Amino acid sequence: MMIALNKRANPSPLFATLSPFIALTLTLVAGVILFLAIGKSPGAALYAYLIEPLTEGWSLHELAVKATPLILIGAGLCIAFLSGNWNIGAEGQLVMGAIAGAIVPVLIPDFRNLLTLPLMLCLGMLGGALWASIPGLLKAKFGTSEILTSLMLVYVAQLFLDWLVRGPWRDPAGYNFPQTVRFPTEATVPAIDYASGRAHWGFGIAILVALGLWYMLARTRRGFSLRVTGQSPRAARFGGFSPGRTTMFAFLLSGALAGLAGIIEVAGAIGQLRPVISPGYGFTAIIVAFLGRLNPAGAILAGLVLALSYLGGEAAQISLGVSDKIARVFQGMILFFVLGCDTLINYRIRIAGQSSGGVIAETPAATTGSDQKRDIDAAASAVPEAGRHA
């Protein structure tokens, strides 16, 4: 059996919409197989994983709490990835944003008024943007691979946070625990409805930011230049868009949003700095961006789905005794299936059963006239063609 790809003349709008859903369905199927393999009832497991977290008020709040950083970072990464800038160091930018924002409650604890929180959020964005500007600048100036530099800086940021909370920023009254003082009320993101759960207004900010980015991408010149640069840097240059400037913009924006996610996480959900402030939101947000098909509005839904995977992992640990680490396995599978399904958008997949030898061992066959026609004529895709190589 061999799989052959035929390029579509135009990306399929049908599969562009369907591919994330197909991917999620395939993840579910894989989940059923996985649970059967480890001897758990798939029905009970999927209920614990997917439904249970949605049945109670408090857990819906938790969903919003976990979705907040995922949506914020994921929406920013959509912009970065679309423009061809592989910022995979959002986890580090989240940490630096949290540190920068925490300057206010930790170093100037007496500054307590209506401006405290806005100042913290601004500093958080600044911290994330500055940290992201390092790989951005190195790429724009020297052409250094942003993939590796942005990732290396994650470790540096985490070690810096570790040093701060164990050293100079440690709460003197904290019984030697590696953590800062608890942030005062003025430095806390207020809860949406304190009586019913933990969800805070950061969730609202995340939704607004994602919608704003969606508008920018779809409707503004800036958004257009970002998309063009990602699809064809050469065309972008002819269009007068500077790739270097686009790179900087993409890094500063995605870094600022990761930083905002960081400060919102510590000022909203945690309430202080600790050695570890994120269960890998910055990396999971990469999955959010792709599951949302690199559309910031799609990142909202995708962020909720991935937030559910975290919650489901915790729920499954309690009710099934499965390690919550299985959530990470599912998250990785989602990304795999999304990337695989995205192939359907640009290609038709033909499965030919009559393969005789090696996968692609044949010499290239002569092109027939009907080959060109097939890309244009959708109906022709059903017609099997002989003499084509893989």
Partner 1 sequence: MLEAILISIATAATPLFLAAIGELVAERAGVLNLGVEGMMAMGAVTGFGVGLATGSPAIGALAAIVVGAVFSQLFAFLTLTLASNQVATGLALTLLGLGISGQIGEAYVGQPGIRMGPVFLGLDPIFWFSLLLLVAVAWFLFHTKPGLKIRAVGDSHVSAHALGVPVIAIRYGAVAFGGACAGLAGAYLSLVYTPQWVEAMTSGRGWIALALVVFASWRPVRVLVGAWLFGAITIGQLQVQAMSLSTITGLPAPFDSIVGALKAVPSQFLSSLPYLATVLVLVLISRNRRLALVNTPASLGQPFVPDR
Choose which of 12, 144, 242, 319 interacts with partner 1 (CB under 8 A).
144
Nearest distance from C-beta of residue 365 to partner 1, angstroms: 9
Strands 347-352 vs 2-7: parallel, antiparallel or unpaired = antiparallel
User: Which one, 28 or 192, has the nearer CB to partner 1?
Assistant: 28
Q: Binding to partner 1 by residue 7, rule CB under 8 A?
A: yes
Q: Which of 39, 118, 143, 387 binds partner 1 (CB under 8 A)?
A: 143
Among 149, 188, 225, 295, binds partner 1 (CB under 8 A): 149
Nearer to partner 1 (CB atom), residue 161 or residue 264: 161
Stretch that binds partner 1, among 21-29, 56-64, 153-161, 213-221 (CB under 8 A): 153-161
* Tokens 């500077």, residue located: 242
Of 177 and 194, CB closest to partner 1: 177
The distance of closest approach from Cβ of residue 226 to partner 1 in the complex, given in angstroms and rounded to an integer, is 17
Task: Indicate whether 385 belongs to the interface with partner 1 (CB under 8 A).
Answer: no
Q: CB of residue 285 vs partner 1: minimum separation in angstroms? A: 11
Residue 358 binds partner 1 (CB under 8 A): yes
Size of the site for partner 1 (CB under 8 A): 60
Given candidates 167, 240, 321, 384, which one binds partner 1 under the rule CB under 8 A? 167
Among residues 25, 53, 15, 24, which one has the least CA distance to residue 318? 53
Q: Both tokens of residue 353?
A: 């059963």
Distances (CA, A) of 174 to 3, 165, 177, 272, 274: 61, 11, 6, 11, 12
Stretch that binds partner 1, among 21-29, 68-76, 146-154, 259-267 (CB under 8 A): 146-154
In the complex with partner 1, which residue's Cβ is closer, 354 or 363? 363
Under the criterion CB under 8 A, does residue 16 sit at the interface with partner 1? no
Please select the residue that binds partner 1; options are 33, 148, 235, 318, rule is CB under 8 A. 148
In whole angstroms, give the CA distance from residue 280 to residue 313.
Answer: 14
Q: Does residue 10 belong to the site contacting partner 1 (CB under 8 A)? A: no
**By CB under 8 A, is residue 104 in contact with partner 1?**
no
Positions 270 through 329 that interact with partner 1 (CB under 8 A): 283, 286-287, 290, 323, 325-329
Residue 162 as a binder of partner 1 (CB under 8 A): the answer is yes
| Three state DSSP letters for the chain | CEEEEEECCCCCHHHHHHHHHHHHHHHHHHHHHHHHHCCCCHHHHHHHHHHHHHCCHHHHHHHHHHHHHHHHHHHHHHHHHHCCCCCCCHHHHHHHHHHHHHHHHHHCCCCCCCCHHHHHHHHHHHHHHHHHHHHHHHHHHHCCCHHHHHHHHHHHHHHHHHHHHHCCCCCCCCCCCCCCCCCCHHHCCCECCCCCCCCECHHHHHHHHHHHHHHHHHHCHHHHHHHHHHHCHHHHHHCCCCHHHHHHHHHHHHHHHHHHHHHHHHHHHHCCCCCCCCCCHHHHHHHHHHHCCCCHHHHHHHHHHHHHHHHHHHHHHHHHCCCCCHHHHHHHHHHHHHHHHHHHHHEEEEEECCCCCCCCCCCCCCCCHHHHHHHHCHHHHHCCCCCCCC
Kindly identify the residues of this chain, within the stretch 61-100, that bind partner 1 according to CB under 8 A: 81, 86, 88
- Smaller CB separation from partner 1, 115 or 360: 360
Q: Is 29 in the site for partner 1 (CB under 8 A)?
A: no
**Residues from 195 through 234 that contact partner 1 (CB under 8 A):** none
Among 110, 113, 176, 195, binds partner 1 (CB under 8 A): 176
Q: Does 142 bind partner 1 (CB under 8 A)?
A: yes
CA distances 176 to 70, 160, 171, 172, 276, Å, are: 31, 18, 8, 7, 16
Question: Interface residues with partner 1 (CB under 8 A)?
Answer: 3, 5, 7, 81, 86, 88, 134, 138, 142-145, 147-149, 151-153, 155-156, 159-160, 162-163, 166-167, 170, 176, 283, 286-287, 290, 323, 325-333, 335-336, 339-340, 342-343, 347, 349, 358-361, 363-364, 367, 371, 389-390
